[in-house]
Chains A and B, each alone.
Chain A
Amino acid sequence: METSITPAENSQPLAPETATVATAAPVAKADRIHTVDMIRGFALLGILLMNIPIFGLDESAFSQILKGSSENADFKALGFIHIFPDGTMRGLFSMLFGVGMVLFTLNKTSKPDGPTVAEYYYRRLLWLVLFGVFNAYILLWEGDILFYYGLAGMLLYPFRKSSPKLLIGLGILCFAINMYKTMGWFGDTKKTRKTYLEAKAAIAEKKPLTEAQQGAMGRWEEIEKSQTPDTARSKRNIRKMHSGYGTIFSYFIPDNANNEIWGMYHGIWDFIGMMLIGMGLFWMGFFSNKLATSTYGMLALVGYIVGITIGWLAFINGQVEWVRHFSTYIDNWRVPHFLLYDVRRVFISVGHASLLMLLYRSGLVNWLMRALANVGQMAFTNYLMQSIICTWFFFGYGFDYYNKLRFYQLYYVVLAIWIFQMIFSSIWLRFFRFGPFEWVWRSLTYWKKQPMRLKKIV
């Protein structure tokens, strides 16, 4: 994700044709890296908001909180997460991954007879896939995304010079595929429910059941069971999480495998869609601080208003009802609220980025923007570091805080990690050119030890 080279300096929004000639002026270069890195840093820190409960709590916590009083601090915290940042940080991160892809491939000239840019790009991604496997299976972070980023990135290459229209159109198509799949699943569930109710009626009237009705009875009961918390499972899970590394390692293997199988085949549209949209926005100059202040203002306003409205409705009418009255929800709604999940994500992600751009331009919180840019410049290291810190903090072989904090208390941990990562990144980058994991990744990609220390400026 390091972006040491940027496209052509041009006061106009970047157009695909101009970017192939790489003549970046140093000052402008530093400027542009700053905004991209800053947003990336923001997304990287923000992603922990959604990840921390998965690190620190048994999954039964979610339904318990949602079923409980809405005055509860946990309920409020969870509501805030679901309505506002959920999925948007990943979205922003994916968008910037797409941007990084464009920057990487378009601004390197390959030596004749040597490996081409494409080869370095694919090597880099293949290593990223392996880093993802390492993050999931060895560092034990079951929510890893690097694996999918590596694979999704491999499909982006032919689109690196496509027009913004095509890119955004394809991104929307990816989300349409997601929606189609969601509707297929929801439709099946509704059908099962309907047949189940018919079967119930038939039993009441003492009519014999058809084969389809019998099947639906079993299937519906299974679905309902899957929606109710399984206390035995939770107990086992908590017991396992309090044990040593070996136990948790083998406990996670099947889950990790299933996650990666599902994610690489069904879940991948989430990433590809955002990456394509990110590339499209980049070509329009969105991430390189090229749009008018009023445009950023409008985008921030519209993005947040639309996104938060959808989020609010989806949480109050959707998620909460889903957990509290599952079967009535299935009966009542023809379309599930989470169908609009990706729509909300795009709007709020664009909103975040626009707001950051406004803040950056205003110069009000320069220190914060600088800190975010530092975090973003070594995003890969910081992402893996979150896995390392959180697993050590929560899991049995570390400080063993698994399932011991309340939901809202988790966010004290988040705050501490944020501060730590901002300070750490700033100090590190005073002495070194890249973050430590960036350095490893780079060295592996070029298959040669890369220079690490920053040269002293005389």
Chain B
Amino acid sequence: MIVKVKGYFTKPTFSINLYMEATPNPLPADTVEPIIITDSISYRKPQPLDVLRGIGILFGLMVSVWLFAGFSNGRQFGIINKATGFDYRLYSTVSVLFDGKMRALIGLVFGAGLLLYMAKSELSKTLPAADFYIRRQMWLMAFGLLNAMYFLWPNDMLFQLGAMGILVFPFLRLSPKKLMLAATICLLIFCGKNYWRFADDKGVYKKYLAVTVVEKKFAKDSADRHIKDSLAKIANPAKPAGIKDSTQTSASKDSLAKAKKDTLTKEQADHKAAWEGLVKNLVFDPKNDEGEKNEVRETSYGKLWDHMLNMTQGREAAWTYRTGVWELGMSILLGMALLKMGFFAFSYRRGQYFMLAIIAIGIGLFFGWFRLYFHNSALRGYEKYITHKWVPHTQFIAIERLSMALGYAALVMWLLQANLLRFFTKGFAAVGRIALTNYLLQSIFLSWFFTGAGSGNFGKLNQWQMYFFVLLVMLMQIVLSVFWLRRYQQGPAEWLWRCAIAKKWLPFKTPHAIAPPGDIASTPA
């Protein structure tokens, strides 16, 4: 079935195959033609967006497991501080390859999926496309709340993806160039915010320094007084009683008066405490982890719910406001631009994908190294770091993450175009096709495995055990997804999502052909 869709794709000219078959762009570059959606679903070929989504969700678990399993920031800081040994090599590899990169990758795919969903919704005669689109996003937010609050996964990203989809709705029609510009603005703000945080730390340090100067003066004064008083005693040995010595009494009065002023004001004490707290947070203290361990190993679901709620709300409110909007924004907008440029429809040559992969991953690795190196020196002495270094170790994480994710996407496009590693790409594509189900399953299974309500393994695994466990989960999900998709077209969560959007119960088993317009949620998270 070939359908012409007006609207969102008119500007850049390319033909896009909804399910991304490997067909090069047949249109000349300068004719303005509406996009053609070919809806002949081919399940033989793994589709790029599915593969990437699958990779994002599965490898994202390598980092998510830190929080699930209780591999706390403190423990990570301890490892970075040491900077040698097996644990460090393992940590730095996972951190450079996956931390934040998988979120960015999911963002890229999600952004591209938004456009495809919109294009597909335009086919519907029952409702304006925007209604499907907004409903889909709002239900995704609801899934996110469910996942975070009830499946006990505070770092859920469905909620934010849902919200971001709504925020970028006015951007859907922009040209790739403008989308790139918007993505760059998000990236710069993200970078800027990391710098401002560092500048704030510098401010705290400055105030602390001012307090130490005052303290030094106090110490000196009290020493001086001590000397002065002793000298006075030597110079004027005790006079017979009754004779008044004006000099001595006034001197001792004077020193007494000063002694009263020798304590810091509340404001000064606060300034001192602020910096000391900052530094203390950078040092690994096993005691800090104990409290968290007890809380998460708690066996009552109600108490766990209470405990996680704080984290969830912090993530959904503060993190989203301060970081999430920019971090997800940059990748979603870039994903939209890439889709419009035909990036996911093999519009580029194999060599181009390969070159892009090498360069982008190279940039990502460089900034990853930079981050770990600078983080190490920050942890070794933050006072020294803050006085000598211009930027925080987090300065370029925006570039690191986005560039790495772009590189991975290019690499996968290259693999698919070159028809390499078919076995793997097919497996990931299966996971990606029922991504929402898989994502929710991860939370259910890992919460069960680690919290006290389930088998209570929180804080019991060391690093390699954690990753081994994750690899097992990944394998399990691939196998499950492949077998599931042999029998069904969609995952249960995707089905529920579609029903919610369509406001009616849809048949679970849909025929192989295109789902009727109105029942579409073709590209989930």
A contact residues vs B (CB 8 Å cutoff) = 112-113, 115-119, 122-123, 126, 154-155, 157-158, 232, 236, 257, 260-262, 264-266
Contacts and interface: CB of A to CB of B under 8 A. Distances in A.
B172 interface: yes
Contacts of B130: 116-119, 157
26 contacts: A112-B6, A113-B7, A116-B129, A116-B130, A117-B128, A118-B130, A119-B130, A119-B170, A119-B172, A119-B173, A123-B170, A126-B167, A154-B134, A154-B166, A155-B138, A157-B130, A158-B131, A158-B134, A158-B135, A257-B321, A257-B322, A260-B321, A261-B318, A261-B321, A264-B317, A265-B317
B319 to A, nearest CB: 9
A260 B166 CA distance: 18
A281 B129 CA distance: 27
B126 to A, nearest CB: 13
Interface string B304-325: 0000000001001110111000
B240 to A, nearest CB: 49
A120 B10 CA distance: 18
7 closest Cβ pairs, A-B complex:
A118-B130, A265-B317, A123-B170, A122-B170, A122-B169, A261-B321, A261-B317
B245 interface: no
Given A116-B130, A262-B317, A232 B172 contact: no
A155 to B, nearest CB: 7
A232 B7 CA distance: 60
Contacts of B316: 265
B181 to A, nearest CB: 15
A158 B128 contact: no
A211 to B, nearest CB: 10
B128 A118 contact: yes
Among B10, B167, B172, B316: residue with most chain A CB under 10 A: B167
Given A119-B173, A264-B321, 14 more contacts: A112-B6, A113-B6, A116-B128, A117-B128, A118-B128, A118-B131, A119-B170, A122-B169, A122-B170, A154-B166, A157-B131, A157-B134, A264-B317, A266-B313
Interface string B204-222: 0000000000000000000
Interface size class of B (residues with CB under 8 A): 20 to 34
Contacts of A119: 130, 169-170, 172-173
A192 to B, nearest CB: 14
A186 B129 CA distance: 43
B134 A113 contact: no
Nearest to B141: A155
A264 B318 CA distance: 10
B266 interface: yes
A119 B172 CA distance: 9
A158 B162 CA distance: 15
B19 to A, nearest CB: 25
B313 A265 contact: yes
Contacts of A265: 313, 316-317, 320
B290 interface: no
A116 B138 CA distance: 20
Contacts of A154: 134, 166-167
Contacts of B169: 118-119, 122
B30 interface: no
Interface in B166-196: 166-167, 169-170, 172-173
A265 B144 CA distance: 14
Contact of A115 (B129, B173, B321): B173
Interface string B112-143: 00000000000000001111001100100000
A378 B129 CA distance: 32
B297 to A, nearest CB: 16
Among B135, B166, B267, B320: residue with most chain A CB under 10 A: B166
